[in-house]
Homo-oligomer: A and B are copies of this chain.
């Protein structure tokens, strides 16, 4: 892949436990396998460590967090880096604000029914949220506003990871952000 590859932002949104981060990391690997070298992953861990310290879970703080991640994506994208963000990002308006600023923005809605994420409860957070031990928990005591026109929708409750990956990579090819595989 030539070095004048153009950047874009791949933004995963969905409930906690829907599989955003896993999928994002596997897409990163797939893009590297296709020869893209400049990729930055902004998942929960990276964001907590480097950007969001001091912010809580009020709507205002969540919006600040998303604007901040969005700004980093914007800066990376305009410098020809592929930015991959995986954040619950529950509010539509601020996601759309980020989309507007970034320009080359691909929204992946990681759809998974609440029942399914609650049943899986990988981190044990839904149990606590349902017991009222965690306040402002998206999907339980805080809203999640699904995207109206995302570039990609994956259904991690009923699709295999291969299917979801295939949808994302095809969308990137169709949008002209990724050359078709030989």
List residues of A whose CB falls within 8 A of some B CB.
Answer: 3-4, 38, 40, 50-51, 53-55, 61, 64, 67-68, 71-72, 75-76, 79-81
Contacts and interface: CB of A to CB of B under 8 A. Distances in A.
Contacts of A54: 54-55, 61, 64
Contact of A3 (B3, B64, B72, B76): B3
* Total identical chains: 2
Contacts of A76: 75-76, 79
24 contacts: A3-B3, A3-B4, A38-B79, A38-B80, A40-B75, A40-B79, A50-B67, A50-B68, A50-B71, A51-B51, A51-B68, A51-B71, A53-B64, A54-B54, A54-B55, A54-B61, A72-B72, A72-B75, A75-B76, A76-B76, A76-B79, A79-B79, A79-B80, A79-B81
Nearest to A64: B53
A101 to B, nearest CB: 11
A172 to B, nearest CB: 19
A18 B3 CA distance: 39
A88 to B, nearest CB: 19
A55 B81 CA distance: 28
